[in-house]
Amino acid sequence: MPITTIGSSQIHVDSEGFLTEYGEWTESLGETLAAAIGIELTEAHWKAIRFLRGDFAVQGETATLRRVSTLANIPIKELFTLFPGKPAKKMAYIAGLPKPRGCV
């Protein structure tokens, strides 16, 4: 796995830049990752990101868009506004989680 340095921290990432170590993530790293893809995190963004972190800790899988929408009670439309284009991937990237499985 490649190691990259973001800010002052060294982190393990996959070939597309998704963190591979759950424990290496911090909220400030989340802000840096968000900035790298042009997103400034507001409280609305954090609601989704914190849900993803907590859900992954229990489930061991990155939540799908529908799961975030249903369980964190955020309309899918709003997720597209907060994380334009590919919200599921962008949320996972910022939250330091594996790319969502996209299913099988």
Partner 1 sequence: MRRLVILGGGTAGTIVANKLRDRLDDSSWKITVVDRDDTHIYQPGLLLLPFGGTGDILKPRGRFIADGIELVMAEVARVDAEASTLEDGRLLPYDYLVLATGTSPRPDQTPGMLGKQWRQSVFDFYTYDGAVALAHALRHFDGGRLVVHIVDMPIKCPVAPLEFTFLADAYLRERGVRDDVELVYVTPMSEVFTKPIAASRLGSMLDARKILVETDFVVERLDPDAKRLVSYDDREISFDLLVTVPLNMGADFIARSGLGDELNYVPVDKQTFLSKKYPNVFALGDASDIPTSKAGSVAHFSAELFVENFLQYVQGNPMTHLFDGHANCFVESGDGKALLIDFNYDTEPLPGRYPVPRLGPFSLLKESAINHRGKLAFRWMYWNVLLPGRPIPLPANMSMAGKHQPREQE
Contacting positions for partner 1 (CB under 8 A): 61, 64-67, 70-71, 76-77, 79-80, 84-86, 89, 101-104
What lies within 8 Å, CB to CB, of 91 at 6+ separation is 48, 49, 52, 68, 79, 83
Tell me, yes or no, if 103 is annotated catalytic. Answer: yes
State in angstroms the smallest separation of the CB of 31 from partner 1.
24
Q: Are 3 and 12 in contact (CB under 8 A)?
A: yes
Q: From the candidates 3, 58, 103, 104, which is the catalytic residue? A: 103
State in angstroms the smallest separation of the CB of 55 from partner 1.
11
Chain centre to alpha carbon of residue 83: 10
Nearer to partner 1, 37 or 76 (CB): 76
State in angstroms the smallest separation of the CB of 103 from partner 1.
4
Nearer to partner 1, 48 or 65 (CB): 65
Q: Write out the catalytic residue numbers.
A: 103
